[in-house]
Chain A
Amino acid sequence: MSTRLRPGHLAARVLTFLVLAVAALAITAPFLWIFRGAFSGSDAELYRLPPTFHAENLTVRNFGLVAEQVPYFRFFLNSIIVSGTVTAAQLITCSTAAYAFARLHFRGKGVLFAVVIGSLMIPIQVTIVPLFLVMSKIGLTNTLWALILPGIFSAFGIFLLRQHFLSLPRELEEAAKIDGAGRFRTFARVILPLSGPSIATLGILCFTYWWNDLLLPLVMISDTERQTLPVGLVLLAGRFSTGSLGTIAAGIAMAIVPVLVVFIAAQRYIVQSIASSGLKL
């Protein structure tokens, strides 16, 4: 619209970029700092102020030392198993339930849906005590099942996918029905292929939530070998006496790298998913 720049305009633009740049620096700097710390050869080097790079003082040794302090790769594997299984299971249960709520006609639908939405108000933090008792009654405390099973039902996921299914044109399903497809085939062959972005959205939100959760593993798991990464990092950081700070920094950095890779690869979906979580609720 306006290609000409008045002096006031220019000042405003400079200020805008200054604020944005400072904010971006404030948000990225802690990550840069921890990565630099992960390569530092000594605690003094890690805490050196101002933090500068001296190539001769840097080392990759810390990364190897992490696994000597704690079963780091075990934590990593546990986290992948837990978040991966919860996500896969949640996508199945949420998409089928959402389809029933969006398209099928059955008695008690309204009440059932109200119950689902109502359960949004009771987060896991409230029910953690009886949840722990349920798990110990069925003998699943201290196993990864205790971290997987409570996450599978998701009222938010059902709601998100139902909204999306409602927006799909009915004609497509009618056509499939005329071709003789049953409910399940219509769902699998018509609805799901049209729902990639919504499913990806839910998958990303679900995976990051359970990948990052600290409370449930802290409550359910007593065996170090069966912990997930968030607790594992805290355990690693607790070993001040035996480990160097560089080792702790390396452990944190290694936990961040995969998230960073996934984040960059799936950024479009992540941005979309968060933007739409605001629009859809």
Chain B
Amino acid sequence: MTTSSTLRPGAGDHAVADPGPPAPRTRRGDGPAALAFLTPSILMFLVFVLAPTVGVLGLSFYNWNLLSDGSFVGLDNFDRLLHDERLLGVYGSTTYMALAILAVNVVAGLLLAVLLETRMPRWLRGFFRLSFLFPFVVSASAVALIWRFLLNKDLGLVNYLLGLAHIDRIDWLGSSAFAPVSVIIVNSWKTIGFSILVYIAGLQSIPNQLREAAIVDGAGAWTRFWRITFPLLSPTIFFLVVINTINSFQIFAEPRVLTQGGPGDSSRTIVEYLYDRAFGDFDLGYASAIGITFALVLVVLTAIQFWFSRRWTHYS
């Protein structure tokens, strides 16, 4: 295909006369080349994405443990889902923690990103930005282990600092009220840098003229923020709301390392619950059914994300 067009130098003229996305109709069908370019991805996709996805659907109709090849049980696993009170509780704690992490990221992230816009020396801005971001690249298990020290009830630094403010010791990791709060703190601490950076990129895409015009018109910083920055930033905010929701629904390492999901199920996430059913109880069929409910949640969240991102392209 490619050689045939090189025989006709005129094809180049066509491209110059008509640049841009709509492809010249003269050459179509890069079939063989496309196949070569796509084969590695397609192979990996078939074996490690599509097969397991089909597998999760299939397994959910089976009673399957690791020792025997299992028996077909129809919709039994889904019936169990409906009567699994722990599942509902785990979805509750997952949602609670996810929403709280979302709120911290979206609100505190915006505050810090806006404050970073203040005039300051380059190195200082760089220092702030990098220190906010650093935990994001450190593994969740290392982060959670550090915080396990810091949140220790009797010896931890956090309770010591609270003690200085005359606040009684809190049982961060051992009480069902504070265990999820610990997961929220640790995960937000790790991920807020991501939100800040996305906000910074969003803020930089706002044309300066708008803000300067507002300054000329005598608008104060407060008014400028609510009348100009905030509305123009709304697509970024929407994006962060959805991406943070999706990410925080998938949390596994923090509760695993900090609290093992306890006490009770107070800080257990759905991924942890699925993991325990599958690799603790070897109840693979039921774990797959849980996986399907989780996939449905993610599909809904992702659909919302795409809906918003379409809105966003509309904006700019």
Report A's interface with B, CB cutoff 8 A.
1, 12-13, 16-17, 19-20, 23-24, 26-28, 30-31, 33-34, 37, 46-47, 49-51, 92-94, 96-97, 99-100, 104-107, 109, 112, 115-116, 119-123, 125-134, 149-150, 152-153, 158, 166, 169-171, 174-175, 177-178, 180, 182-184, 187, 208, 211-212, 214-215, 218-219, 229-231, 233-234, 237, 245, 248-249, 252, 255-256, 259-260, 262-264, 267, 270-271, 274-279, 281
Contact = CB atoms under 8 A, between A and B. Distances in A.
A24 B131 contact: yes
Given A31-B134, A231-B141, A252 B30 contact: no
A129 B130 CA distance: 37
B38 A97 contact: yes
Interface size class of B (residues with CB under 8 A): 35 or more
Given A34-B146, A278-B240, A278-B243, 14 more contacts: A47-B155, A49-B160, A93-B41, A97-B40, A122-B53, A126-B56, A130-B54, A230-B142, A252-B146, A259-B139, A267-B126, A271-B133, A275-B198, A281-B239
Given A30-B146, A120-B302, A152-B48, A255 B309 contact: no
B132 interface: yes
Contacts of B6: 177-178, 180
B40 A92 contact: yes
B202 interface: yes
Given A23-B112, A178-B6, A212-B138, A233 B145 contact: yes
Interface string B41-81: 11011011111111110110000000000000000000000
B12 A178 contact: yes
A50 B39 CA distance: 59
B2 A130 contact: no
B165 interface: no
Contact of A24 (B42, B128, B294, B309): B128
